[in-house]
Structure 1
């Protein structure tokens, strides 16, 4: 452990905490309690449950994952408070939160957050008095304005042509939102797979992460550079984080340009969303380097899909925030020297927005060698026995981030319907997310026939998917689900398991008819019938699984797909791929 760097991180935490407490101690305290490790958060929840008052009781239920109870307490309360309003907002009860904000004195911060949640940026700013919070939002709005880009320090100079021709393969510095070993998400694993594939192909690569990461997620970095599987991850930890997003982007862009020079990078490469693109584009301009923008999602559609009701989701899609985010994403992608995206539907979305078709390269999600090397010869029942789960029954489910648009509530309802007709379907869901508490409550009537593991490692996620007789991706019919291609169906096929997916464009392009089944989204009855048919047809399950694995091994292995990155780099730098 680098003690000097540890002290720097402690200073960062102290400064950030002091700023949050000064800014809004109620909001900070509530968010801190929710982000504590599970046992500690539940301990706080139980302690609050012993205190009188609607606010304490609602906070207790919220922390304990009893969201239905928390919503009932909020809706029925006659004693509004700031804490109750913040809980209402976090539960998606916008009308109740607004009513509370109007009834509680000095609730300007809550009123502003409600408007921000609705996508009314100007309203969120107008709700606040002059001060640090208002200034932050003003600068957030400025960063979304057309043509705004960070400014870098004037002392940064571009590298000469002689310096950039030393490598036999183009060298690259990536900018990431998060990374291994501190974040174990699909984003982090894809990023690491790209970096290791490039490294194995002879490219010099490294990755920088966003300012103050991993301190921002409550983790400590062992030093300014952490190495995972031979890949360096660079950490930018300021002693005291700058107070506005525009100032942070200026500083980040300057720092990134210096790192690119120090590392001898010939190309910069970043991923969605636009904040990463702004910093990388400015750094590339300062260092005289080409840059790549990798579009892995559609930020504004993901935000809109998080709305609690259909009306709220539609209101978000016509909001100021949605329109500004969409325009900024297209502006950033259009400014990049090359754009990479995951699927045809995403490519078409970018072209329709005005991104030059000639700049876009499709590099789809693929599977790691951990999936390729998995022991798929074991039956699901054998894998379940090793995990301590019952061998009996037909188990369906997934390993995923648990958010509303994943449609796992429809899967729960489908299993309930099938079981009511005597089909021994059972549920296994590996993963965590904001929708997990509600999903657990929905599945309560399944009793022991529903298992939720919570957060798991990549190796554990693979093992739990192997325990399933069929893997289900029942995404909702939301724009984000029609556009963005997830990695889970690819992994499922790679693990020789049949796949059942919602009949949406971004999913249809992933799963051949020989490897799985498409069902109409949002239709638990149809999903129940499909799963029941598979439950009675072991031959079909095996056939789908075998066909899917053959398809993935032939077309979706990182060691093969990853070479396309090198081809993009060579085209931009003029350095021939080896």
Structure 2
């Protein structure tokens, strides 16, 4: 490990922590406890449970994943407190949080967070006294205003002529990617797609590197081995400021300057970033300074993902009508429209961008595809054989998924469907691999299944493949939310690539992924219909095999990174070959 860079990261942690403690020690302490490694978080949870009062017991239950107990303690407590209010807000109990904030003197920071959660930016600012938090929120609102972009220092823009003169444009343009997170510290669909893109470009002869967001991976409680880390030969550059800037606009300007300098030093001919708009603002400003074209890759719909996190239909609807939603949507469209090229994952997402005003001719569709690890997987082994190797029962028909466990994935409907099917005599069993904010509630919901439900928690990509191979069918029962109607996930593609039948919700973004020959679809939000369909599939070995074989053939023919990834090079060559600036 690079000791100097380690010291820099630790100093950044100390400075940031001190700022958070001074800002709001109750909120910071609670969030820190939740983000500790599992054993440490549980230890804190047990310790809090020994304290007198509902606040300590609610915090204990929350940290231990006993969300039903935590909600009961919050709702029934006769002694409101700041801590109870923060727990209520994190549990999605917005009404209870508001009642607590009104009853606790001086709970203005909590009131502000409630308004921010509701999407009321102006109200979240107005309730606060003058100070660091108010200044920060005002500045965050500024960054969302139309036509606001970060500033790049004049000494950086002066390098543009040298950059163009020193680096001739070749057949394979050099690209610098700007990422939110990456391997090895974050193992998510986002990180794996980014790595697949970078690897594919490198193998095609492009010089590539990726610069992760400022202070990453310190921001997720991990330390980098050095200012540059290599994963499978791909270069990930870490940017850890010694003293992070206090406001979003200052941090974005600092990031844009760093991107522009890095682009100059590496002779980058293309800058390439991904959603959301924060990445786009910094990268677009840096591209203008470095005098190079830039690509904005739209992998999600930020404002709809935020709205879908509401805890009830009424709250989700209110979020979509909020100031924050409108500003985020407008900013995303502004950033995408400013880019020289836009890449997105599916036809429904492409149509969404065009409807928002992004020029159709700038958009290229590059769908999610499978890695060679999926292609090379041994799909000849039966699910029962795979379960045996993983220490799971061979008996029964196992259904499930490997996914990020959030509410809109609809895994609660899958749990209910398995319960219903078992009550009706089908030996259906459940396996869910992954982690996420909805996992504690999901575990509680599935408790009635006993040993017939398995939750693995966070797993690596290799483990995720093994667990999916252990399933007789893979379900993607997403909710009927705009984010699920628009965004095409990678999981159905992986499932088909692993020769497993796929059961999806009947939503546009999912139907465009799974051909009729490879899977089945069911109305979203209907556990009874899902149970009926899974029971039919469980009783038909021939259908499961046919769907699996057809799905794998479809993926091998159309969805391998080795072929799909070439489209990135084509986009780059078109930009560098044209006089875009």
Residues of 2 paired with 1:407 and 1:4: CA distance? 46
- Give the structure 1 partner of residue 27 of structure 2: 27
- Give the structure 1 partner of residue 550 of structure 2: 547
* CA deviation after TM superposition for structure 1 residue 228, in Å: 1.0
* CA deviation after TM superposition for structure 1 residue 573, in Å: 0.2
CA contact (8 A) 2:169 2:269 kept: no
Match of 1:506 among 494, 504, 509: 509
- State the TM-score, normalized to the length of structure 2: 0.98
Residues of 1 paired with 2:553 and 2:353: CA distance? 31
CA contact (8 A) 1:175 1:209 kept: yes
Q: Out of 398-407 and 224-233, give the one that drifted further.
A: 224-233
Q: Does residue 332 of the first structure (1) align with residue 335 of the second (2)? A: yes
| Contiguous gaps of at least 5 residues in structure 1 | none
Match of 2:433 among 425, 430, 441: 430
- Output aligned runs, 1:339-350, within 5 Å: 339-350=342-353
Residues of 1 paired with 2:184 and 2:445: CA distance? 33
* CA deviation after TM superposition for structure 1 residue 53, in Å: 0.2
* CA deviation after TM superposition for structure 1 residue 166, in Å: 5.0
Residues of 2 paired with 1:65 and 1:166: CA distance? 54
CA contact (8 A) 2:163 2:290 kept: no
Residues of 2 paired with 1:105 and 1:12: CA distance? 33
SS, match of residue 510 in structure 1: coil
- Give the structure 2 partner of residue 184 of structure 1: 187
Write the deviation string for residues 281-304 of structure 1: whole angstroms up to 9, x where unpaired: 000000000000000000000000
Q: Does residue 67 of the first structure (1) align with residue 67 of the second (2)? A: yes
Write the deviation string for residues 422-479 of structure 1: whole angstroms up to 9, x where unpaired: 1000000000000000000000000000000000000000000000000000000000
- Give the structure 2 partner of residue 398 of structure 1: 401
Q: Does residue 38 of the first structure (1) align with residue 38 of the second (2)? A: yes
Residues of 2 paired with 1:67 and 1:448: CA distance? 21
Residues of 1 paired with 2:389 and 2:538: CA distance? 22
* CA deviation after TM superposition for structure 1 residue 148, in Å: 0.1
Match of 2:168 among 165, 170, 184: 165
CA contact (8 A) 1:165 1:575 kept: no
Q: Does residue 440 of the first structure (1) align with residue 443 of the second (2)? A: yes
SS, match of residue 155 in structure 1: helix
* CA deviation after TM superposition for structure 1 residue 160, in Å: 4.7
Residues of 1 paired with 2:444 and 2:10: CA distance? 39
- Give the structure 2 partner of residue 147 of structure 1: 147
Write the deviation string for residues 78-129 of structure 1: whole angstroms up to 9, x where unpaired: 1000000000000000110011001111111000000000000000000100
- Output aligned runs, 1:126-145, within 5 Å: 126-145=126-145
- Give the structure 2 partner of residue 305 of structure 1: 308
Residues of 2 paired with 1:164 and 1:353: CA distance? 36
Residues of 2 paired with 1:85 and 1:560: CA distance? 51
Residues of 2 paired with 1:398 and 1:501: CA distance? 11
* CA deviation after TM superposition for structure 1 residue 50, in Å: 1.2
Residues of 2 paired with 1:219 and 1:57: CA distance? 29
* CA deviation after TM superposition for structure 1 residue 575, in Å: 8.4
Match of 2:490 among 487, 492, 499: 487
CA contact (8 A) 2:119 2:319 kept: yes
CA contact (8 A) 2:58 2:70 kept: yes
CA contact (8 A) 1:168 1:575 kept: no
* CA deviation after TM superposition for structure 1 residue 165, in Å: 1.8
* CA deviation after TM superposition for structure 1 residue 51, in Å: 1.3
Write the deviation string for residues 389-428 of structure 1: whole angstroms up to 9, x where unpaired: 0000000000000000000000000001000011000000
Residues of 1 paired with 2:420 and 2:38: CA distance? 32
CA contact (8 A) 2:150 2:256 kept: yes
* CA deviation after TM superposition for structure 1 residue 574, in Å: 0.9
Residues of 2 paired with 1:166 and 1:329: CA distance? 30
Residues of 2 paired with 1:165 and 1:296: CA distance? 31
SS, match of residue 269 in structure 1: strand
CA RMSD of aligned residues (A): 0.9
* CA deviation after TM superposition for structure 1 residue 375, in Å: 0.4
CA contact (8 A) 1:291 1:337 kept: yes
- Give the structure 2 partner of residue 85 of structure 1: 85
Q: Does residue 278 of the first structure (1) align with residue 281 of the second (2)? A: yes
- Output aligned runs, 1:204-353, within 5 Å: 204-353=207-356
Residues of 2 paired with 1:250 and 1:39: CA distance? 38
Residues of 2 paired with 1:373 and 1:575: CA distance? 39
* CA deviation after TM superposition for structure 1 residue 167, in Å: 3.5
Residues of 2 paired with 1:72 and 1:543: CA distance? 48
Residues of 2 paired with 1:132 and 1:370: CA distance? 48
- Output aligned runs, 1:51-130, within 5 Å: 51-130=51-130
- Give the structure 1 partner of residue 418 of structure 2: 415
Count of paired positions: 576
CA contact (8 A) 1:419 1:425 kept: yes
Match of 1:565 among 561, 568, 577: 568
- Give the structure 2 partner of residue 2 of structure 1: 2
Residues of 1 paired with 2:381 and 2:277: CA distance? 44
- Give the structure 1 partner of residue 529 of structure 2: 526
Residues of 2 paired with 1:331 and 1:61: CA distance? 43
Question: In structure 2, do the counterparts of structure 1 residues 70 and 160 end up closer, same or farther at CA, with 3 Å as the change threshold?
Answer: closer
* CA deviation after TM superposition for structure 1 residue 566, in Å: 0.2
Residues of 2 paired with 1:167 and 1:226: CA distance? 26
Write the deviation string for residues 486-526 of structure 1: whole angstroms up to 9, x where unpaired: 00000000000000000000000000000000100000111
| Contiguous gaps of at least 5 residues in structure 2 | none
- Give the structure 2 partner of residue 465 of structure 1: 468
CA contact (8 A) 2:149 2:285 kept: yes
Residues of 1 paired with 2:173 and 2:259: CA distance? 18
SS, match of residue 454 in structure 2: strand
CA contact (8 A) 1:475 1:481 kept: yes
Match of 1:198 among 183, 201, 212: 201
CA contact (8 A) 1:395 1:470 kept: yes
CA contact (8 A) 2:85 2:110 kept: yes
SS, match of residue 304 in structure 1: helix
* CA deviation after TM superposition for structure 1 residue 161, in Å: 3.8
Residues of 2 paired with 1:220 and 1:266: CA distance? 30
CA contact (8 A) 1:273 1:299 kept: yes
SS, match of residue 175 in structure 1: strand
CA contact (8 A) 1:273 1:329 kept: yes
